[in-house]
Amino acid sequence: MWLKPEEVLLKNALKLWVTQKSSGYFILQRRRGHGDGDGRFTGRLVGALDAVLDSNARVAPFRILLQVPGSQVYSAIACGATAEEINQHWEWLEQNLLHTLSVFDNKEDIVSFVKGKVKALIAEETSSKLAEQEEDPEKFREALVKFESRFNFPEAEKLITYYSCCCWKGKVPRQGWLYLSINHLCFYSFFLGKELKLIIPWVEVQKLERTSNVFMTDTVRVTTPNKERDFSTFLNITEAFRIMEQLADVTLRRLLDNEIFELDPGLQDPTQITKRDLEARAQNEFFRAFFRLPRKEKLHEVVDCSLWTPFSRCHTAGRIYTSDSYICFASKENGCCNVIIPLREVISIEKMEDTSLLPNPIIVSIRSKMAFQFIELKDRDTLVENLLQRLKEVNSSNPVHCNNAQNKNQNSAAFLSTCMLKDSEPACLGTEASQDKERSECGKESSYLLNAEALRSDFHQPGVAGLDFGKSREQIKESLWNDHFVEYGRTVCMFRTEKIRKLVAMGIPESLRGRLWLLFSDAVTDLALHPGYYVHLVEASMGKCCMATEEIERDLHRSLPEHPAFQSETGIAALRRVLTAYAHRNPKIGYCQSMNILTSVLLLYAKEEEAFWLLVAVCERMLPDYFNHRVIGAQVDQSVFEELIKEQLPELAEHMKDLTTLASISLSWFLTLFLSIMPLESAVNVVDCFFYDGIKAIFQLGLAILEANAVDLCNSKDDGQALMILSRFLEHVKNEESPLPPIGNHHAFFSDDQEASPVTEIANLIHDSYEKFGDHSVEQIEHMRYKHRIRVLQSHEDTTKQNVLRVVIPDVSILPEDLEELYDLFKREHLIRCYWEMTSPAVERHDPSRPYAEQYRIDAQQFTNLYRLVSPWTCGEHTDILAQRTFRLLDENMDRLIEFKGLASCLDVMYNGEMNEKIKLLYKLHIPPALTENERDSQSPLKNPLLSTSRPLVIGKANGDAVDYQKQLKQMLKDLAKEKDTRTEKELPKMSQ
């Protein structure tokens, strides 16, 4: 490898290097001790020094120096891991430079010429290796050469980054280098003559965490099925762990969870992924999770600044985040003030005059006659230029909004969809007339009568004596909210502070609930950007029959059957349309259980089209990966919840050693947001908090429920009793302030023979959850999700493995432990193809939604590789031919893929089968379908005349007799069958008289 010329002092280096070749201008040296054997003390000492120190001297055991005659200062221009590599560089210098240097008279000209040539070679090599994408191309190129020479991976194995650290073996640290590639974690150490190489595929990582103990203060622990590895003494352990976390997450989800997982565009090709891409992905994931924005949003700038907050009459320090379609602000003090500004709402972005009081200010004006002032912006001009360009793109892609801005038409549905007006004003969220006008403009007249109002208004239940207090409380809440709107704003761009969180925790008024859900989830933006989209989906999906529609029809009458809205065809029809339209929009999710319960509640408080976009926001942004066949997202959050129990409720965790029971009980809490196990009038308050705070609200409420029942749970005798305790408690969570009569929940259950639990007020329960367990940030929860997603995915893989083995073991004689190793080998062969063959459809072939035995399948080439390793029927150069025939024989459905069961049954015959079974298998390998037409005409020793079915094989003997070997073979099979029957016959036991 060519090196950027760097001066070395040869006088001091002679103790570590031995000169092997020398010319007038160049010296080839070998590292002292290299190749002398492990027993030489010099080699061990120099190797230990190289392992500890990070210097150019330890790039490789060979190097070439540029010699300036008459000087003790030399320049290193090349290095090599092997003698062959360094000799290639030496020969290039002799052939291309040595004869040219003699024409120079000036020594400085010689040095300048050689260095220029070497730098040109480095630039050419750098561009081919994509090393220019890294922060320090020179060091990265050196690390890349070491990585390739030490681990000998295929070229497609892309090195992402590397770190100097220690790997602990027991209580002994081994100093070395950690290499993080796209598919593997690798560690290399050479210390006192002992070499250590460690290779861990990311798909085998079961746990990745930061730990501390007596010996190591801050350590990254990597757990695999066989061992735990600890790595410490990083220069920047936070950065290293974040990259490891991202690599493990991306690789595991790409290879094991490709059912609905979609990578960001920059990560689609694994060979092009860089460290910068992974850091950008981590930032994007946090940005979208914190502000609960669509997955397509890409973060562009994060800049420290201050925002003028009129309610506090001062500037609030924080950060501005800009993406494709949004400008967002988050204060440095958590929860103090957040703002979300869709670019479609922006009228202008202007720079103000720079003053000492207002340094580098900009003004962002929006349609609702509000303006946001940001100051102390670094590189303000570039930021404003980028924002104006994106604003132009947003307006050009939504000409309706652009025209409205130009004409200042404040009555369009697109604008009114973001306004929060009082009930007395009819234009709130768009009037029915304006919606009809917009649909007609889009050409989307529907033949179905869609609900123009929330079902709550059409099926308002008659008043019940004693509810006047609840109605008065509603009026008080409405007054508080209206006062809040005046001070903090009433659109999606409102200031979101701790005050609004307290109002949400008290419960949103019935009249404002649906509209605020739209604003908090930003579903209102989707609604305004896609006029007529829902109508089109309804037209396209209704009347079509598929598995999703059958499941929807089955669950329609199970959705809030106690509510009068879903005892009528109006509510049922609206629910059917929304669920069917969403299944048509997102076939990867389709329809999953619990979506019907959530959608029915959305329809109670929002118009039909609004309920659809709320469902989109929940399924695709707020609860990612929840609604699919394996509910991976819900299981991940279950696992996170289990860790939170250990952290926040240690006494309960200590008493209940196995927390999986509580985690299992909580699955319905996450999937239905407590709607299935709480009275409806109480559960909607939980949904209020969820739309404002996201999944964090569900975690903290779950902890508050467990804390309230901690004593009873500690005294419970079994899992069933714990379930009954929680069910009784949740059934008695009431909302005394609700203006509606209480509605029971048919999903909840409790035993009649137990005495009733005391009533718990939902507002008090939510208040306790915020006070006691509300200190977890979005970033902390996302990191916990990363960690537990690894465990959940590996748990699914273990389940798949156990189910496949359970099916195969009864049919074969192979020992279970051997069969388990064979399955691991089968899966590894599949994964290797996924690693390095980008054109292979191996990744697409893995479908977690298929039956267990069909999730992993291999093609002919992969089968041939396995056949060479494990088959006892190897026959030299004909092994591959026999493997291909065996594959064709096992491929009964002719799809050019076989499952593990086919491989196991074939090897079982080869290893453990009776003689007649082996001969039958061998015979089948020489006839169609194992034998192809091309092989019939070939001259291979395995061609078909040896065992032909088209004519008898008759061979003449020396005495003139003829032997028909085909008849002999058939007779042999019959004799073997009789012999087997004879061996299996057992003498009957004597009768006891």
- Is the bond preceding 361 in cis, omega lying within 30 degrees of 0? no
> How large is the average pLDDT for residues 60-84?
81
Which pLDDT belongs to residue 750? Answer: 45
Please give the CATH topology (third level) of the domain spanning 295-406: PH-domain like (2.30.29)
Which pLDDT belongs to residue 41? Answer: 55
Which pLDDT belongs to residue 440? Answer: 41
9 C-beta neighbours (distance < 10 Å), count: 10
At residue 293 the predicted structure's pLDDT band, cuts being 50, 70 and 90, is very high
Indicate if the pLDDT at residue 413 is higher than 60: no
At residue 106 the predicted structure's pLDDT band, cuts being 50, 70 and 90, is confident
Indicate if the pLDDT at residue 425 is higher than 50: no
Lowest mean pLDDT among 560-564, 733-737, 971-975: 971-975
**403 CA to centre of own chain:** 40
At residue 130 the predicted structure's pLDDT band, cuts being 50, 70 and 90, is very low
At residue 134 the predicted structure's pLDDT band, cuts being 50, 70 and 90, is low
Which pLDDT belongs to residue 258? Answer: 67
> How large is the average pLDDT for residues 541-562?
87
pLDDT per position as a tens digit, 218-248: 899 999 998 999 998 888 888 999 999 999 9
Which pLDDT belongs to residue 430? Answer: 38
| Amino acid present at 794 | Q
> How large is the average pLDDT for residues 339-345?
95
In the chain, residues under CATH classification 2.30.29.30 are: 153-276, 295-406
At residue 7 the predicted structure's pLDDT band, cuts being 50, 70 and 90, is confident
Q: Please tell me the distance from the alpha carbon of residue 44 to that of residue 37, in angstroms, as a whole number.
A: 9
pLDDT per position as a tens digit, 864-873: 999 999 999 9
Which pLDDT belongs to residue 435? Answer: 43
| Amino acid present at 963 | V
C-alpha distances (whole Å) from 757 to each of 732, 753, 760, 765, 926 are: 7, 12, 9, 15, 75
pLDDT per position as a tens digit, 778-796: 999 999 999 999 999 999 9
Q: What DSSP state is assigned to residue 620?
A: I
Q: What rounded mean pLDDT belongs to the chain?
A: 82
Give the whole-number percent of the chain exceeding pLDDT 70: 79
Which pLDDT belongs to residue 950? Answer: 45
At residue 943 the predicted structure's pLDDT band, cuts being 50, 70 and 90, is low
pLDDT per position as a tens digit, 581-614: 999 999 888 898 889 999 999 999 999 999 999 9
Indicate if the pLDDT at residue 576 is higher than 80: yes
Which pLDDT belongs to residue 697? Answer: 96
Query: Strand, coil or helix: what is 948?
Result: coil
Indicate if the pLDDT at residue 200 is higher than 70: yes
C-alpha distances (whole Å) from 252 to each of 202, 349, 690 are: 7, 42, 29
> How large is the average pLDDT for residues 68-89?
81
Q: Could you please report the per-residue DSSP string of 100-167?
A: HHTT---HHHHHHHHHHHHHHHHHHHHHHHTGGGSSSHHHHHHHHHHHHHHH---TTS-EEEEEEEEE
Q: Is the pTM of this model over 0.85?
A: no
Lowest mean pLDDT among 162-176, 179-193, 399-413, 780-794: 399-413
User: Is there a contact between 541 and 580 (Cβ–Cβ < 8 Å)?
Assistant: yes
At the top level of CATH, which class does the domain 153-276 belong to? mainly beta
pLDDT per position as a tens digit, 653-676: 888 877 777 877 888 899 999 999
838 C-beta neighbours (distance < 10 Å), count: 11
Which pLDDT belongs to residue 877? Answer: 83
User: Is there a contact between 860 and 892 (Cβ–Cβ < 8 Å)?
Assistant: no
Q: Please tell me the distance from the alpha carbon of residue 245 to that of residue 262, in angstroms, as a whole number.
A: 17
943 C-beta neighbours (distance < 10 Å), count: 15
pLDDT per position as a tens digit, 486-525: 999 999 999 999 999 999 999 999 999 999 999 999 999 9
SS3 content of the chain, % helix, strand, coil (to 5): 50, 15, 35
Structure tokens at 743: 């509605």
Which pLDDT belongs to residue 679? Answer: 92
Structure tokens at 396: 């050009």
Indicate if the pLDDT at residue 1 is higher than 70: yes
Indicate if the pLDDT at residue 390 is higher than 70: yes
Structure tokens at 169: 């073996």
40 C-beta neighbours (distance < 10 Å), count: 15
User: Is there a contact between 206 and 153 (Cβ–Cβ < 8 Å)?
Assistant: no
User: Is there a contact between 293 and 492 (Cβ–Cβ < 8 Å)?
Assistant: no
Which pLDDT belongs to residue 726? Answer: 92
Residue 65 phi, psi dihedral angles, 5° rounding: -110, 145
Indicate if the pLDDT at residue 303 is higher than 90: yes
Indicate if the pLDDT at residue 882 is higher than 60: yes
Lowest mean pLDDT among 132-146, 440-454, 578-592, 629-643: 440-454
User: Contacts for 258-263 with beta carbons within 8 Å, 24 or more apart?
Assistant: 258/843, 258/844, 258/846, 258/847, 258/848, 259/588, 259/628, 259/629, 259/630, 259/847, 259/848, 259/849, 260/588, 260/589, 260/625, 260/628, 261/625, 262/295
Which pLDDT belongs to residue 40? Answer: 57
Lowest mean pLDDT among 29-43, 189-203, 405-419, 707-721: 405-419
Indicate if the pLDDT at residue 711 is higher than 70: yes
Lowest mean pLDDT among 374-383, 423-432, 452-461: 423-432
Helical packing angle, 513-521 and 680-693, nearest 10°: 30
> How large is the average pLDDT for residues 816-832?
92
Give the whole-number percent of the chain exceeding pLDDT 90: 45
Structure tokens at 339: 């703002």
Residue 902 phi, psi dihedral angles, 5° rounding: -65, -45
At residue 201 the predicted structure's pLDDT band, cuts being 50, 70 and 90, is very high
Which pLDDT belongs to residue 663? Answer: 75
> How large is the average pLDDT for residues 275-301?
91
